[in-house]
Amino acid sequence: MKPLKVIYICTTFPKLSEQFIQREVDVLREEPVELEVITLWGGEKLYKGISIRTFPKWELFKLLWTLPLGIFRKPDAMLGIMGKFFSAKPPSMLNFFETLLGYGFALAHWIEIKRNPPDLIHGIWATSPVSAAYFLSALTDVPFSMGAHAFDVFEDGGDWHLNEKLQKAVLVHTSSQNTQRQLLRFGADQDKVKMIRRGLTDFPELKPLRRNRSPIRIVSVGRLVEKKGFFYQINILKALKQHGISFKAHIIGSGQMDRQLRDFRDKSGLHNEVEFWGKLTFEAVQEQLVWADLFLFTGRVSSRGDRDGLPNVIGEAMAHGVPVLTTDVGATTEAVKDGVTGLVLPDDEPEAWAAAIQSLSTDESAMEVFRENGRRWVEEHFNAHKNSKQLHEAFRLAVHSES
């Protein structure tokens, strides 16, 4: 089988908080595919022996000749895409500049890519990476595919030019059923949208259940931003303490709410029980999951509409045998089935969470059921080798349908 030549465009690569993308690249490289990874905004120039193309911003000077040439050779494409800047207001200034970044890369590099074209151009996020892929496709006549995930379709109502990208893409990859449904509401072609999860390349050993769970050990991992619901989580932990339940909680991650959350912890009288560990490496996070008895996810819909899909760390926790307690937000309940693989609890009743945690601290049977069923779910649905094979096959079928 002839290797498929794919340009794979990221925002930043590799990125500590996006280990799942690195795992996807690792497994795709095992397939018959020539993968050229491009990062638009920082990252490394070398990853596991392969060169990563970065985008130094001085390359925008190339627009002095690539832009006029594009107008001359591809006037319809240039007028069609550039005209979109005046067709509607961007949902946010961040999305406006993300779009500019992607279009800038496309304009700077379309000539060289047209001279040595790939079979497919794939953008992993619907923001700047797909903006680049979308414009490159229009200028080079190479088909493009796109990733579209929770942030892309929910934050501020979705990416600026999402509808146009969905119409032109030969394949739309998403990793949750919840986001897939939203893409169909946007009018995406059902045949194009493929729900293929990310996953783990190596499964950890299922750790034994810690028999004496007092104090009960609780871990949560995520950026310290509104949609993660950490203020609510601290209220849950406050209720635990008020009920006399002994616990230790580790919150792992960094973000704009770091200082406010630490202050709220202290005002809640939890300085001795709740520790903020900041940003940790993937390996260090796995060590925390080995330490933990329970994993808490208190996500919610942010004031700007953003929410998580299925956070990869939920799958990682379940792989270790750590029961997950979650709110019903985004796609979490696709993995955490209430009473089967974990518990789904309300987003406004700290007392209900405290009661559930107290019960699990002594309920060996329920803990074992959640641990075994959770591990079974990730082995079936969260295997990066199996899932990336599906993505590679989707790439190949999409290219074949265009030829």
- pLDDT, tens digit, 9 for 90 and up, residues 211-259: 899 999 999 999 999 999 999 999 999 999 999 999 999 999 999 999 9
Q: Are residues 335 and 390 in the same domain?
A: no
Q: Are residues 55 and 102 in the same domain?
A: yes
Domain presence at residue 235: yes
Task: Determine the Cα–Cα distance for residues 382 and 310; give it in Å rounded to an integer.
Answer: 11
Domain presence at residue 210: no
Q: Which of 319, 298, 312 is nearest to 374 (CA)?
A: 319
Q: Are residues 15 and 26 in the same domain?
A: yes
- pLDDT, tens digit, 9 for 90 and up, residues 317-332: 999 999 999 999 999 9
- pLDDT, tens digit, 9 for 90 and up, residues 120-151: 999 999 999 999 999 999 999 999 999 999 99
Q: Are residues 367 and 389 in the same domain?
A: no
Q: Are residues 102 and 16 in the same domain?
A: yes
How many C-alpha atoms does 344 have within 13 Å on its Cβ side? 15
CA 170 to chain centre: 21
Helix and strand numbers, DSSP H then E, in the chain: 15, 14
Domain presence at residue 206: no
Q: Are residues 265 and 304 in the same domain?
A: yes
Q: Which residue has the tokens 């107290």?
A: 358
3-state secondary structure of 55: coil
Is pLDDT of 402 > 80?
no
Could you tell me the end-to-end alpha-carbon distance of the chain, in angstroms, rounded to an integer?
16
What is the structure's pLDDT at 84? 77
Task: Determine the Cα–Cα distance for residues 43 and 15; give it in Å rounded to an integer.
Answer: 7
Question: What's the domain count of the chain?
Answer: 2
What is the structure's pLDDT at 80? 84
Q: Are residues 52 and 135 in the same domain?
A: yes
Distances (CA, A) of 150 to 6, 174, 331: 24, 9, 9
Q: Are residues 13 and 97 in the same domain?
A: yes
Domain presence at residue 209: no
What is the structure's pLDDT at 86? 75
Domain presence at residue 116: yes
Q: Are residues 188 and 228 in the same domain?
A: no
Q: Which residue has the tokens 């490159």?
A: 136
Q: Which of 372, 365, 283 is nearest to 321 (CA)?
A: 372
Kindly indicate the confidence band of residue 403, based on its pLDDT and cuts at 50, 70 and 90: low
Q: Are residues 396 and 357 in the same domain?
A: no
Q: Are residues 63 and 20 in the same domain?
A: yes
Domain presence at residue 211: no
Is pLDDT of 178 > 80?
yes
The one-character DSSP state at 53 is: B
Q: What is the CATH number of the domain that holds 389?
A: 3.40.50.2000
- pLDDT, tens digit, 9 for 90 and up, residues 254-295: 999 999 999 999 999 999 999 999 999 999 999 999 999 999
Q: Are residues 140 and 190 in the same domain?
A: yes
Q: In degrees, to the nearest 5, what angle opens at C-alpha 277 toward C-alphas 272 and 278?
A: 140
> Are 12 and 43 a contacting pair, CB within 8 Å?
yes
Q: DSSP letters of 245-284?
A: --EEEEEE---TTHHHHHHHHHHTT-TTTEEEEES--HHH
Is the whole-model pTM more than 0.85? yes
Domain presence at residue 264: yes
Task: Determine the Cα–Cα distance for residues 24 and 102; give it in Å rounded to an integer.
Answer: 22
The one-character DSSP state at 349 is: -
Residue 291's domain comprises 216-381
